Amino acid sequence: MATRKNKLASDFCRCIKKVRKTIKLRPGVKKTSSAKEAAAIGVCVKAVLQTKGKTLKRFKCGKKMSLKTLKPLKGGASVGPSQPTGAPYQSTDPTASKIQPGAGIQSYYENAVKAPVRL
């Protein structure tokens, strides 16, 4: 049975292999295989590792895949497309309605409209 790190390493290496073939480099960058691989690594770090709350330290792809990560992202929070990256603004006004944790940004805006406005 594969360990969690081995699974993460195989996902990361598979991502690099796929992205390297399809990535389009920025204008002005020489179109070399190392430039394509560097861009693919950046895309896959964001897509595979940071969604799990990890940052890249060292990796090796091939027959013996290995992946070393640094400490988790600040606060251990995951950054991904399905999660909001920042907390919504919370008022210090005691009369403002309280936001339930995990209620999402939609309920925040609904409650913000109902909150009394002071002039």
Q: What percent of the chain has pLDDT over 70?
A: 57
Please give the Cα distance from 42 to 37 (Å, whole number): 9
Tens-place pLDDT, residues 80-89: 555 455 555 5
Model confidence at 14, pLDDT cuts 50, 70, 90, reads: very high
Model confidence at 3, pLDDT cuts 50, 70, 90, reads: confident
Extents of the domains making up the chain? 4-75, 87-119
Mean pLDDT of the chain: 75
Strand partners of residue 66? 60
Please give the Cα distance from 11 to 95 (Å, whole number): 48
Tens-place pLDDT, residues 22-67: 988 889 888 888 899 999 999 999 998 888 888 888 898 988 888 8
Burial class of residue 109 (count of CB atoms within 10 Å of its CB; 0-12, 13-18, 19+): exposed
> Residue 104 has what pLDDT?
58
Please give the Cα distance from 14 to 10 (Å, whole number): 6
